[in-house]
A = this chain, B = another copy of it.
Amino acid sequence: MNKVEVIQNFLRNENLDAAFITTPDNVFYLTGFSSDPHERLLGVMLLKDAEPFILCPLMEVPDVKAAGWKFEAVGHADTDDAWDILVNAVNTRGSAPTSIAVEKSHLTVERLERMNELFPEASFSRIDEQLNNMRVIKDESELVHLRKAAELADYAVEIGCREIAEGKTELEVLMAIEFELKKKGVQKMAFDTMVLSGPKTASPHGTPGDRKIQKGDFILFDLGVVYNGYCSDITRTVAFGEPTEAQREIYETVRRAEQAAIELVRPGVKACELDKVARDVITDAGFGEYFTHRLGHGLGISVHEYPSITGTNEFVLKEGMVFTIEPGIYNPEITGVRIEDDVVVTSDGVEVLTKFPKELQIIQP
């Protein structure tokens, strides 16, 4: 059963007439067509008893077809009212829908108000959970892309380590990484690449800049690529020159925390249990106050997707789920360290997609 059929089944089971899907990542999931429509209207209309169609900017119709979408692509020009075109396309397929599922976690209030006007008889319900539940389990064809994305992330960290040198700036190392990746065919990073050095490693969301790398620095890489629409997300922290005892202690604590979480991954375990086992290691070592964020997040078409791996999420792991595990300690007096892997839940355990070594790498000045 393909994805369109799964949603049509959902509509029949829930006794809904239609679903209108507008999150770009969900549109990609359903159609293979990837686009950032900005403020223009892009959406897939799925109907219980008729053919679906995609509504998209007119100039993107050829790209939708090229992406493999087998149904109609209805284009709208910038001078059209895209919503009128949507209604017309729905009307040609049968009677007006009286119940429409939408992504309430994405659809804006303004767009819902417009749909309310255009389909005045319709009620609106959520389809977010249905789409999350579909996307959270990756099939083998998706895992192929995720594995390749992770391999490219490993390679990126390898380049980063090779580029580290006294006096080089964070930005110079960052650009060298991205240039090598582009040469390998990477079209898009999954998010802004992070190369932080020295005290800047203690900022979980720092910005790479002109700081020159010095002996004694820890250097933190956090990066990922998009490969065939799927993301990777890796963090490694390495030492430039011999680390101090205090730096080593932080590093090894994060490493043990990360390893403890990885070893717990298997179907049936709860997301919050992963967070707890990692956090306990860090808290027991006396660094609890410096681990200021959740353990991880789902990974796939979006770099942050469902589910969130937090201390309160009772979500039960299932085979085929992919997410990050990324504990960190951010001690501004000593150093920041974060270690992050992308993992897949297998039938009886875990597959770690990112493979760059986690023994503390000491780059010799």
Partner-B contacts on A (CB < 8 A)? 35, 38-39, 58-60, 63, 77-79, 102, 104-110, 112-113, 124, 126, 128, 171-172, 174-175, 178-179, 182-183, 185, 187-188, 192, 204-205, 207-210, 292-294, 304, 308, 310-312
Closest chain B CB from A173 CB (angstroms) = 11
Closest chain B CB from A166 CB (angstroms) = 18
Q: Which residues of B contact A175 (CB under 8 A)?
A: 175, 178-179, 182
Partner of A104, one of B109, B204, B209: B109
Q: Which residues of B contact A58 (CB under 8 A)?
A: 292
Q: Which residues of B contact A188 (CB under 8 A)?
A: 192
Asked whether, in the complex, the Cβ of B108 is within 8 Å of the Cβ of A113, the reply is no
Given A38-B304, A171-B182, A182-B174, check contact A294 B104 (CB 8 Å).
Answer: no
Asked whether, in the complex, the Cβ of A308 is within 8 Å of the Cβ of B78, the reply is yes
Asked whether, in the complex, the Cβ of A63 is within 8 Å of the Cβ of B179, the reply is no
Q: Which residues of B contact A60 (CB under 8 A)?
A: 205
How far apart sit A81 and B304, CA to CA, in the bound complex (Å)? 19
Q: Which residues of B contact A126 (CB under 8 A)?
A: 110
Given A110-B105, A174-B182, A207-B187, check contact A310 B79 (CB 8 Å).
Answer: yes
How far apart sit A175 and B187, CA to CA, in the bound complex (Å)? 11
Partner of A112, one of B109, B292, B304: B109
How far apart sit A38 and B178, CA to CA, in the bound complex (Å)? 23
15 A-B Cβ contacts within 8 A? A38-B304, A59-B205, A59-B293, A63-B205, A78-B311, A102-B109, A105-B108, A107-B108, A107-B109, A109-B109, A109-B112, A171-B182, A175-B179, A178-B178, A187-B209
